[in-house]
Amino acid sequence: MSFIALFDLISVIVTIISIIIFMVRWRRTLYPDIRYLLLGLLILSFFYYSSLFIEWSGITNYFEKTEDLLGAMIPMFWAFIFYTFLQLLAKKDLQNSEEKYRRLIQNSRDIIFLIYENHFEVINKKFDEIFNLTIEEVNQPDFKLNKLFARKSQFALNRLISQVKKKEKLDPSYNFTVLNVKHEEIDVEASFNYIKYKDGIAIQGIMRDITERKRLEEQLRQSQKMEAIGQLAGGIAHDFNNMLTIINGYSEILLKKEFSAEILNYIQEIRKASIRATRLTSQLLAFSRKQIIQPKLINLNQIITNQIQMLRRLLGEDVAISTVLDPQLHSVKADIGQIEQVIMNIVINARDAMPLGGKLTIETGNIQLNNEYRRLHPEAKSAGYAMLSISDTGIGMDEVTRSRIFEPFYTTKGRDKGTGLGLATVYGIIRQNNGFIDVYSEIQKGATFKIYLPVEHEKEKSIIINSLDEKKLQGNETILLVEDDDGVRAVTESILKKYGYHVISAANGEEAIRIYEEHVGKIDLILTDVIMPSMDGRELVEKLFEKDNNLKVLYFSGYTDDNIVRRGIISEGMEFIQKPYTQIELAKKIRSVIER
Amino acid sequence: MLYENEIIMLVFGFLVTLFIGIKFNQLKHIRSYKTLLTGFYLLVAAWFFSNLEQIILEKYLNILEHLFYAGSSITILIWIFKTFTIKVKVK
Single-letter code of the amino acid located at A359: K
According to the model, what pLDDT value does residue A562 have? 44
Task: Round to whole Å and give the CA distance between A418 and A40.
Answer: 98
Query: Do B26 and A90 count as a contact with CB atoms less than 8 A apart?
Result: yes
pLDDT tens for each residue of A210-229: 988 888 888 788 778 777 77
CB distance A126 to A105 below 8 Å: no
Residue stretches of chain A with pLDDT short of 70: 1, 288-294, 376, 413-419, 458-471, 558-573
A522, A529, A481: which is closest to A505 by C-alpha? Answer: A481
Task: Round to whole Å and give the CA distance between A166 and A177.
Answer: 24
Instruction: Give contacts of A 53-112 with B, CB under 8 A.
Output: 56, 68-69, 71-72, 74-76, 78-79, 82-83, 85-86, 89-90
**Chain B closest-CA separation from residue A128 CA (Å):** 30
**Chain B closest-CA separation from residue A59 CA (Å):** 17
pLDDT tens for each residue of B66-89: 999 999 999 999 998 888 776 655
Instruction: Give contacts of B 11-40 with A, CB under 8 A.
Output: 12-13, 15-16, 19-20, 23, 26-27, 29-31, 40
Q: Is B83 on the interface with A (CB under 8 A)?
A: yes
pTM value?
0.49
Q: Provide the CA A406 distance to its chain's centre, in angstroms.
A: 16
The complex scores an ipTM of 0.90
Task: Round to whole Å and give the CA distance between B66 and A594.
Answer: 122
Beta-carbon contacts of B65 under 8 Å, excluding residues fewer than 6 positions away, are B46, B47, B49, B50, B53
Which positions in chain A touch B81 (Cβ < 8 Å)?
21
Count other C-beta atoms under 10 Å from residue A578's C-beta.
Answer: 21
Query: Do B83 and A31 count as a contact with CB atoms less than 8 A apart?
Result: yes
**Chain B closest-CA separation from residue A125 CA (Å):** 27
Answer whether residue B44 shows pLDDT above 90: yes
According to the model, what pLDDT value does residue A575 have? 79
Share above pLDDT 90 across residues of chain A, in percent, rounded to a whole number: 21
Query: Do B5 and A56 count as a contact with CB atoms less than 8 A apart?
Result: no
Question: Long-range contacts made by residues A334-338, C-beta under 8 angstroms, separation at least 24?
Answer: A334/A293, A334/A295, A334/A296, A334/A298, A334/A433, A334/A435, A334/A453, A335/A293, A335/A294, A335/A295, A335/A296, A335/A429, A335/A433, A336/A296, A336/A298, A336/A303, A336/A463, A338/A286, A338/A291, A338/A293, A338/A429, A338/A432, A338/A433
Task: Round to whole Å and give the CA distance between A28 and A20.
Answer: 14
According to the model, what pLDDT value does residue A464 have? 37
Q: What is the DSSP string of B17-63?
A: HHHHHHTHHHHTTSTTHHHHHHHHHHHHHHHHHHHHTTTS-HHHHHH
pLDDT tens for each residue of A366-418: 988 777 777 767 777 777 899 999 999 988 888 888 878 888 777 776 656 66
According to the model, what pLDDT value does residue B88 have? 55
Q: Is A4 on the interface with B (CB under 8 A)?
A: yes
